[in-house]
Structure 1
Amino acid sequence: MKQIIVLFLFFPLMIWSQSSFDTAEKLFKEDKFEQAQPLFEQFLKENPSNLKAIEYLGDIAGNYKSWDKAISYYKKLKQLKPAEANYYYKYGGALGMKAKEVSKFKALGMIDEVRGSFEKAIALNAKHIEARWALIELNLQLPGIVGGSQSKAIRYSNELLKVSPIDGYLSRGHIDEYFKRYTAAEQQYKKAIAISGSRTSYQMLANLYKNKMNEPEKANAILQKIKSLNSSPKKNI
Structure 2
Amino acid sequence: MNRVVFLLLFIPSMLWSQANFEKAEQLLESGKTEQARVLFESILKENPSHLKAIEYLGDIAGQNKSWDKALFYYKKLKQLQPDEANYYYKYGGALGMKAKEVNKFKALGMIDEIKSSFEKAIILDPKHKESRWALVLLYVQLPGIIGGSEAKAVAYSNELMRLSPLEGYLSKGYIEEYFGRNKKAELNYIKAFELTNSKLAFQKLYNLYLYKMKNSDKAKQLKEQFEK
TM-score (norm 2): 0.96
Number of the residue aligned with 1:159: 159
- Listed as ranges, the matches of 1:135-214 within 5 Å are 135-214=135-214
| Partner Cα distance (1:208, 1:55) in 2 | 35
Between 1:1-10 and 1:93-102, the stretch displaced more is 1-10
1:117-173 CA-partner distances (Å, limit 9, x unpaired): 011111111111110110011011111011000111111101100011100000000
Assess if the C-alpha contact under 8 Å between 1:129 and 1:160 holds in 2. yes
Q: How many residues align?
A: 228
Structure 2 residue runs without a partner (length 5+): none
State the SS of the aligned residue for 2:58.
helix
Cα displacement (A) at 1:226:
4.4
- Matched AA of 2:86: N
Cα displacement (A) at 1:227:
4.4
Structure 1 residue runs without a partner (length 5+): 229-237
| Partner Cα distance (1:37, 1:227) in 2 | 39
State the SS of the aligned residue for 2:180.
coil
Number of the residue aligned with 1:111: 111
TM-score (norm 1): 0.93
Number of the residue aligned with 1:216: 216
State the SS of the aligned residue for 2:101.
coil
Assess if the C-alpha contact under 8 Å between 1:119 and 1:131 holds in 2. yes
| Partner Cα distance (2:221, 2:24) in 1 | 42
Number of the residue aligned with 1:232: none
Q: Does 1:65 align with 2:88?
A: no
Assess if the C-alpha contact under 8 Å between 2:59 and 2:70 holds in 1. yes
Q: Go from structure 1 to structure 2 and tell me whether the alpha carbon gap of 1:119 and 1:24 turns closer, same or farther (over 3 Å shift).
A: same
Assess if the C-alpha contact under 8 Å between 1:203 and 1:223 holds in 2. no
Number of the residue aligned with 2:37: 37
Cα displacement (A) at 1:194:
1.4
RMSD: 1.2
Structure 1 segments (4+ residues) deviating >6 Å? none
| Partner Cα distance (1:74, 1:95) in 2 | 10
| Partner Cα distance (1:6, 1:139) in 2 | 55
Number of the residue aligned with 2:12: 12
Assess if the C-alpha contact under 8 Å between 2:197 and 2:226 holds in 1. no
Q: Go from structure 1 to structure 2 and tell me whether the alpha carbon gap of 1:27 and 1:205 turns closer, same or farther (over 3 Å shift).
A: same
Assess if the C-alpha contact under 8 Å between 2:55 and 2:77 holds in 1. yes
Cα displacement (A) at 1:9:
3.4
- Matched AA of 1:34: E
Q: Does 1:55 align with 2:55?
A: yes
